[in-house]
Structure formats: structure tokens, C-alpha cells
Structure 1
């Protein structure tokens, strides 16, 4: 458990954690040793001169005071370490998630990461703050007390020590029997979290289709599975908890019977028997708590293992000696790329000279958006190479590559904050004049003027307080402010009304001016402004040329063009 925790935390926390564990162990040992002073205290109290117990009582009080101070220091240390680790792990997890390839984020990851980043991380990092001290105490204090008992009377000490391997065996058996139910419980929790997120995100569609009741039933089914998994987890834990309780109680009874027998035989006195019983009772309390602590530690360990698995997931490799491109042309050379078992691209090659515009056209599922993601190195290709300025993107550091590229997606996500904060994501150190100029070029200034609060207007989580066209203007202003030589556009006007479409097109034209551009085109008016057009189909480039050249060939592009523009012409 501690080894897994230290591996997840990294070397920067290892020394602090080991020091905290050592302090907790010393505190637990001092607690056990303080009870050893009960032997002379009770012996003198029940002897012929009770006044002789005063020095021992003072020593016992001093030992308890020392224990109390150590307990305060160790608990405070555990709390500080836990808080520091939680803070650090949020940053580490966030940074690691940001470096993982986009392909890692499949549909099942949303609920898993949501649970991990909230309850899971708190549970795992709460070990140092809340579970480690009682766990160490439950192990070290009874062993110290047993050692004292052996020193006092070896027969009674050995009788108490017999319970140790039984308790350990019960804990191991319980952990193994709980492994399956813990995994099932986690799977059900993750599924339920995903269902809740799905239910919330799908409200507009569900209400439009009048199927909210059915979807609510699916969510209820998922929550009922969580309840069943919880019940099975409790039932699986019961034998271990009952076995632990019986073992401790039987051991206490054996010590009591043996102590009584020794007292009746004259081997020890009544005061010594009473002392042994007090020690045995104090030894039993922490052992009985092991069942509850063990369950919590198993849950924390499961979360640690899942967290460790995520942190061990390799991000895209960074070059040891990164290169910096001096040109801004783009190229794919014999690129093959597979997504799962599907081959998205098969030996695809093309180039985009610096300062030119390339439009990518094709049916849905042809891989147009994936092509942009390969250029931005959201994925690594299986074979071939993606080049920026003649340099393989795998030989360019992520920071340098991202400093060369601006991406405007079809679906814009804005962070919960002001309009200005979202625009400044393009270049946080930009001065106010540059921000205002980028906004004007994207015609975002029109939106700012009519919104209450202006630049300080909050956009809401995901930009929900703005319309689709307004979000696109923010995204374009952000890209303009970044002012980079390469622009990737995933057709941004496909779902806009005519007014917003015209405004966004104007902003896009300013964004593309003088830059190397690759644009995914859904609306064919965009294609006419490109220097060259690629038509993708079946993982290959089936046609390539200028708009007019492709029309004159009367091939797949011409058919696609005619289908796209015919409804407009008939209107």
C-alpha cells in the first residue's frame, strides 16, 4: 500500500511520507509502552503500601502526555502531507491528462476520469490524513502491548500473540475476497457517473423527442446496479468482520482463563491478572478497528492503482533533441493511420506550400477532422511522417509545435470566465490593444457591445451563455491574437445562421491571410477560396487539384459539388 502510494506520488513526496510513517509508528509504540506503566501502578495500588504507586502514577501521566504531544504532531504531519499531496496530485494528474493522446479519451473515459478526479483522488490522498495513523496504531500498539505482556509473563504474552497470525490471515483473506466486489463496485460507480453526465448533456434531444421518462429509467437502472453492488460488497465483507471479532474475543477469553488459572495456582497475584486484562482489553480495541480501517484502505488502494495506471499511460514521446522548423509548409508522406481496428488513412501523401490554402472535402467519416489532428500531432501516425517546415512533427517539441499552429474547431468550447479571459488564452501576455484589435478583426466587438458587462461578461461553462456564432467569433479572435503561421480550420460555419456565417467568414478571411491553411470544408463556398482541394474517400485521396480543375474532370468532387449546390440554386 505504502509502496504504491509512494510510486504514485513520485520521489518529491517519498521522504516526507516515510518521515510521517516513522513518526506515527513511534507514536503508536509510545502509546503501547505507556500502558506498561500500568503494571507497577496496579501492583502498588493493590499492595500493602498504596502510596508507593504515586511515582508510578506520575510517570504514567508523563508518558501519556508525551504520547498526546506525539499524537498531535503525527496527526498534524499526516494532515499536512495529505493536503500537500492532494494539491500536488491534482496538478500532476491534470498535466498528465493534458499530455495524453486524444485517442485515449474514448467514450468510457469521461465517467472514469470524473470519478477519479473527484471522489477517487480525495479517497486515495486521504490515506495520509485520515487512515494511516489509525492503521499504524492498530498494528504497532497491540504488538507493543504483547511485547510488554511477554516481558511480564511469557505464558500470557504468548497466548495473546497466537491471535496475531490469525488476524493477519483474516485480513489477507478478506482483502482477496473483496477484490472482485470492489472492482464491480467501481465499475458500477463509473457507469452511473457516465449515465448522469449523459442524461444531463442529452436533455435538449430527450425533451425534443419526448423520451425523458425512458432515459430516466436507464439512469435508475444504473443506480440500482450501484445499490446491488454495494450490497454484495457489504455481504462479502461480513465474514471477515465477524471472523476478526470472534478471533479477538476468543483470544481475550483465553488470556482471561489462563490468567485466572495462573492466579489460582499462585504463579501471579490478583493485581498482575487485573493488569494483564487491562492490557489485553487495550490490545483488543485497535485490532477490532482493523476491519473498518482495512475496508477503507482497500478502497483507497484500488483508487491508487487506478490512478497509477493512468499516470503510467505513456503520453506522446517528446524528442530528446527537438528541432525548430524555419518554414511553415505542411506535408504528409505515405501516412498510414489506424484508429482501433479501422484504417483511417492508407499511404496518404500531399503537401501544402507555405502561405497557401488547402481544402479537404469528403463524405462524413472520410477522416477529414482526423487529418487536422494528425497535423497538430494529437495522434502519432502508424507509418510515414507528418512534417511542418520539412521537420517531422515527432522531432518538434509539443510547445514549439503548438506555438506554430492555431486551430479553430467546429464545436467551440469556452472556459467558464469572461470573454476577455477566453480570448487571451491565445496569447496571455498580449496587451489590451492587441486583444481589442483581434476582437475587431473577428467582429467580436459587436458581441461585446451588446452584452451586459461587455468584456467582463461571463460566457458560462462551455460558453453556454453565448450563441454558436458568438462562440465562433471568440474562437477566431483567440486564433487571431495567437498570430501564428499555420491555421487549421474544421469548418466553423456549418451550423450558423446567415448573419453569423457572414461575420465568421469575414473573421476567417482575416485569420487566413498570409498563412498556411488546411481547412475541412462542409459548405462548398469555402472550397472556392482554396488554392488546392483534396477529396478523401476510403482512407485515400481520390482526387486532387484546384476547384475549377476538379469540376472539369466530372469525377467524385464534381458530383459532391453538384449535390451540395443544387438545393441552393433551386431556392
Structure 2
């Protein structure tokens, strides 16, 4: 456990931890020697000349004063180290998480990470202040007692040595069972925590589909598994506690019986017997304490192992110095990438010219969002190269790359702070005037006016107090505030109503001027505004060119454009409105000018001749 503690604290804390161990060891040695001096002191007191005990009594007094001073320093150092350990571990975990590639953040790992940063750090906090002291005392003091026993009676000392070996074997066996049970319990606790969060977040869906009862099944199963894991931990820990206690008590009884036999045999005096039994009792005491604290120590060992495993997780490599870029264009050359062995991009090559808007088009699963994440270096490609300004992103330091790029995703996460705080994340050192200007451009001022508290209104966890469109506007305001030469958009207007969409189109246009823009496009107006369009399919770029050129080719893009135009004109007819004389299960495309266009397409499936409250019509 001590070795794992050194790894978790890091080299910057080696000196403090070594000092703490030195103080604890010195205190345990002084204590052991003091107990050993009880033998000659009691021998003198119970012998024919009690006055000869004074030198031993004075030596004991000096030792106990020294022990008290060292123990006081060790106690302060233990609490100081424990507090520093908690603070630094949270910082180290946070720094590590910020460096991990996004592919690491699977659902099970996120649940374990939450438990590790909360419960596991608390499990370790008590190691320097409490558990480490008990571990040193239970090791050093009995060792000193056994060695001292050899100076007075080798037979009792040998018996005590055998007892120590038996205690070590029993402790080792109990530790293995407890560690295995704790690892299993940690996995189950993490899953239960994830299920609780999932159940809370899924309430709108569960209630909408009337599954408020059935929806409990997965959570109930997770909580039942958690209860079972707790019972298994108890079953694994109790035998160890009972076993160690039984061995310690049996050892003392054996030593008592042997000492009594030797005293009756005449080979051991009564004074020596009493003194040696005092040493035997001091030998048994820390063993009993270890039996009581063994479970906590094994849990702390597992916690240290898990934290060290996280800190040892491989991160994206960083160069010592970034290569200088030449321009702000973006290029993907023969890029291959997949998730968990499933390929997404298969030799993709494309270029986003400097100062122009490039739109990505393609079916779901074609890899459009993956392209944006690779450019931002959320993870590295399995093969091929991603370049920014002619430089491989792997040859740029993270701070250099992020200073060039702003990303606006469809799925926006807001921190549990105020509206203004969430906009300021785009550039924390920006002035209030700059923050307000970016927010107004993205129409965030409308949100502030609506909420009680205005700009200081809390947005809730994940932005729960705002609509999807409002969260999107704050995300765009962040990008406006960051003001980078490269902007990556994941169709940011997809979640907005018609009124605010126009305002945000203007904000996007202002943000895109004189910048390199890569946008995942679904809306027709975005495609019209793009300087260059790339069509993805099967992980490759199958078409590329301007809007008019691609329509003239009548290929995949032209088919996509026609389908989007058809979908844009669908509408429902309410009660009392006139229907066509056509069968009710057909409808036609309505163009932007209100006239019917294009071939008939299937409606919502109303059989011909049947009536309904609302049917499809041109």
C-alpha cells in the first residue's frame, strides 16, 4: 500500500511522505524499545533490590518523552499530508481526465470516474492520518518486541515468531478475499449510480410512454445488486476479522501457558514471567487492531490501485514544442477511424480551404461529426493525417490547436452556473463588454430577459432550465466570444425555431467572415451559403464541389437536395379545411412559393376513403 501511495501522490510529495514514514517509524521504535525496557525494570522492582530499578525508570521516562514529541510531529504531518493528498488527487484526476481521448469515456467508465473522484478519494484521505500509523505500529512495534524477547528468553521469543508468521498468513488470505469483494462492489456501485442518474434524466420519456412502473426495473435490479455486493463484502471481511482475532488471542494463551510452565519448572523467574507477558500483550494488541482495521486498509489499497490505474492511462501524445502553422486551412489525408473496432471513416481525404465555408453532407453514420472531432483532436485517427495550417495536429500542443479552433455541437452542455458564466467560458479573460456583445449577437439577451435574475439567472445542471434552442444560442455565443480563425459547426440551427433561426444565421455569417468554416449541413439555406460541399458516404468523400455544380451532376448530392426540398413542404390539414379529391393517403410537395411541386409522396399512412381529424394535403 505504501508503494501505491507514493505513486498516487506523485514525485513532488515524495519528501513529505518519506518524512511522515520516518516519524511514524521512529515513534514505533521508541514505543517498542520502551516496552522492552519494562522487562529489566520489573525484574529489578520485583527482585531483592528495588532501588536498582531507578536507572531503568529514568530511561523509560526519557523514551516516553521522546515518543510523545515524535508522535505529536507525526500526527500533524499525517493530517497535513492527508489534506494535501485529497486536494492534489482531485487536481491530478481532473488534469488527467482533461487529457484523455473521448473514446475513453464509455458509460461504465463515467460512472466509475464519479465514484473514484468522490468516494475513493475519501477512502484514501485517511491513509496518512490514520491507517498508515496503524500499519507502521502493527509492523515495527511487534518486530521490536520479538527481537527484545530474544534477549530475555529465546523459547518465548521463538513461539512469538511462529505466531507472527501465522498472523501474516491469515491476514494475507483475508486480504485477497476482501480485495476481490471490494473490486466487485465498486463495479456494482458505479453501475447503480449510473442507473440512478439515468432514471432521473429519463423521467420525461418514461412518463410520456406510461412506463413509470416498468421503468423502475433496471434501477431496482442495480440497487438489488448493490445490496448483494454489500452483503458479500461483509461475508468476505468478517472471517478475516474473526480469524485474526482468534489467532492473536490463541497466541497470547499459548505464550501464557508456556511462560507459566517455564516458571513452574524453575527455568524462568516470576518477575521475568510478568515482564515477558507484558511484552506478549503488547505484541497481541496491534494484531487485534489490524484485525479491526483490516477491511479499511484493503479498501484503501483498492482505491489507490484504481486511482493509479487512471493516472497511468495513456493519453494523446504531446510534442514538446508545436510546429508553426502556415495558414488556417484544414485537410484530411487518407484518414481511417472507428469506434470499438467498427470502422467509420475509410480512407477519407478532403480539404477545407482557408477563409471559405465548407459543408459536410451525408446520411446518418457517414462520419460527419467524427470528422469535426478529429480536426479538434478529440482523438487521433487510426491511419492517415489531419492537418491544420499544413501541420499534423499531432505535432501541435493542445493549447496551440485549441487557440485556433472553436467548436459548436448540436448537443450542448451548460455548466450549473449563470447565463453570463456559461457564455464567458468561451474566453474567461474577456471583458464584460465583450461577453455582452457576443451574447447579444447570438440573441442570448432574449434568454436573459425571460429568466428571473437576468444574466445572473442559473441555467441548471446541464442547462436543464433552458430549451434546446436556447442552449444552442449560448454555445454559439461562446464561439463568437472565443473569436478563432477556424470554426467547426455541427448544424447549430437545427434545434431553433424559425424566428431565432434567422438571427442566428446572421450571427453565423458574421462569425464565418474571413474564417475557415467547416459545417455539418442539413438545412437548405446552409447548403446554398457554402462555398464548397463535400458528400460523405461509407466513410469516404464521394462528391465535392459547389452547390450548382453538384446539382448539375445529378448525383448523390442532387438526390439529397431533392429529398430535403420535398420534406420541407410537408404539412398537416386540420379539421374543417378543404381536401383534394385525391385519395387521402397521398400528398404532394409544396414549394417555397406555396405551389405544388414534384411527384406524389406517401403521407402518414391514412387508408384511402377513411376520415380522420387531421390528414395530409398539399
Q: Are residues 570 and 231 of structure 1, via their aligned partners in 2, closer, same or farther at CA, if it must alter by over 3 Å?
A: closer
- How many Å apart are 1:105 and its aligned residue? 0.9
Q: Which moved more, 1:463-472 or 1:234-243?
A: 234-243
How far does the alpha carbon of each residue in 1:21-45 deviate from its partner, in whole angstroms, 9 at most, with x for none?
Answer: 1211111111122223332443344
Match of 1:284 in 2: 284
* Partner SS, residue 378 of structure 2: coil
Match of 1:356 in 2: 356
- How many Å apart are 1:563 and its aligned residue? 2.2
Match of 2:496 in 1: 496
Distance 1:156 1:287 in 2: 17
CA RMSD across the alignment: 2.0
The answer on 1:461 being equivalent to 2:461 is yes
Q: Are residues 428 and 238 of structure 1, via their aligned partners in 2, closer, same or farther at CA, if it must alter by over 3 Å?
A: closer
Distance 1:51 1:213 in 2: 83
The answer on 1:555 being equivalent to 2:555 is yes
- How many Å apart are 1:149 and its aligned residue? 2.1
Match of 2:202 in 1: 202
- How many Å apart are 1:110 and its aligned residue? 1.3
- How many Å apart are 1:560 and its aligned residue? 2.2
Q: How many residues align?
A: 571
* Partner SS, residue 232 of structure 1: helix
How far does the alpha carbon of each residue in 1:504-539 deviate from its partner, in whole angstroms, 9 at most, with x for none?
Answer: 323222222221100012323322111111221111
* Partner SS, residue 213 of structure 1: coil
Match of 1:159 in 2: 159
Q: Counting helix residues as a fraction of each chain, which structure ranks higher?
A: 1
Distance 2:45 2:199 in 1: 70
Match of 1:260 in 2: 260
Q: Does the CA contact (< 8 Å) of 2:142 and 2:286 recur in 1?
A: yes
- How many Å apart are 1:54 and its aligned residue? 6.0
- How many Å apart are 1:567 and its aligned residue? 3.3
* Partner SS, residue 519 of structure 2: strand
Q: Which moved more, 1:536-545 or 1:35-44?
A: 35-44
Q: Does the CA contact (< 8 Å) of 1:25 and 1:140 recur in 2?
A: yes
- How many Å apart are 1:544 and its aligned residue? 1.7
* Partner SS, residue 359 of structure 1: strand
User: Whose Rg is larger?
Assistant: 2
Match of 2:612 in 1: none
Distance 2:112 2:401 in 1: 30
Match of 1:405 in 2: 405
Match of 2:43 in 1: 43
- How many Å apart are 1:62 and its aligned residue? 4.4
Match of 1:430 in 2: 430
- How many Å apart are 1:50 and its aligned residue? 5.2
Q: Which moved more, 1:235-244 or 1:527-536?
A: 235-244
Match of 2:248 in 1: 248
Distance 2:499 2:512 in 1: 20
Q: Which moved more, 1:390-399 or 1:209-218?
A: 209-218
Match of 1:482 in 2: 482
How far does the alpha carbon of each residue in 1:227-260 deviate from its partner, in whole angstroms, 9 at most, with x for none?
Answer: 2222223323344333322322222112111211
Q: Does the CA contact (< 8 Å) of 1:319 and 1:394 recur in 2?
A: yes
Match of 1:333 in 2: 333
Q: Does the CA contact (< 8 Å) of 2:179 and 2:299 recur in 1?
A: no
Distance 2:406 2:133 in 1: 51
- How many Å apart are 1:410 and its aligned residue? 0.7
Q: Does the CA contact (< 8 Å) of 1:324 and 1:400 recur in 2?
A: no
Match of 1:34 in 2: 34
Match of 1:529 in 2: 529
How is 1:11-90 mapped onto 2 (pairs within 5 angstroms)?
A: 11-48=11-48, 56-57=56-57, 59-90=59-90
How far does the alpha carbon of each residue in 1:376-403 deviate from its partner, in whole angstroms, 9 at most, with x for none?
Answer: 1111112221111111111111111100
- How many Å apart are 1:157 and its aligned residue? 1.8
Distance 2:289 2:430 in 1: 58
Match of 1:304 in 2: 304
Q: Does the CA contact (< 8 Å) of 1:101 and 1:316 recur in 2?
A: yes
Match of 2:220 in 1: 220
Q: Which moved more, 1:239-248 or 1:408-417?
A: 239-248
Q: Which moved more, 1:10-19 or 1:478-487?
A: 10-19
Distance 1:522 1:405 in 2: 22
Unaligned runs of 5+ in 1: none
Match of 1:389 in 2: 389
How is 1:163-178 mapped onto 2 (pairs within 5 angstroms)?
A: 163-178=163-178
Unaligned runs of 5+ in 2: 572-618
Match of 2:5 in 1: 5
- How many Å apart are 1:223 and its aligned residue? 1.8
* Partner SS, residue 166 of structure 2: helix
Match of 2:588 in 1: none
Which structure has more RCO (C-alpha within 8 Å, separation ≥ 6)? Answer: 1
How far does the alpha carbon of each residue in 1:98-122 deviate from its partner, in whole angstroms, 9 at most, with x for none?
Answer: 0111111112211111111111122
Taking structure 1 as the reference length, the TM-score comes to 0.95
* Partner SS, residue 338 of structure 2: strand
Q: Which moved more, 1:230-239 or 1:119-128?
A: 230-239
How far does the alpha carbon of each residue in 1:160-215 deviate from its partner, in whole angstroms, 9 at most, with x for none?
Answer: 12211111111222223334323222221222122122222222212222223223
Taking structure 2 as the reference length, the TM-score comes to 0.88
Match of 1:347 in 2: 347
Distance 2:210 2:504 in 1: 34
Match of 1:128 in 2: 128
Q: Which moved more, 1:83-92 or 1:314-323?
A: 314-323
Distance 2:69 2:216 in 1: 54
Match of 1:272 in 2: 272
Q: Does the CA contact (< 8 Å) of 2:34 and 2:64 recur in 1?
A: yes
* Partner SS, residue 416 of structure 2: coil
Match of 1:107 in 2: 107
How far does the alpha carbon of each residue in 1:440-466 deviate from its partner, in whole angstroms, 9 at most, with x for none?
Answer: 222222333343333322222222222
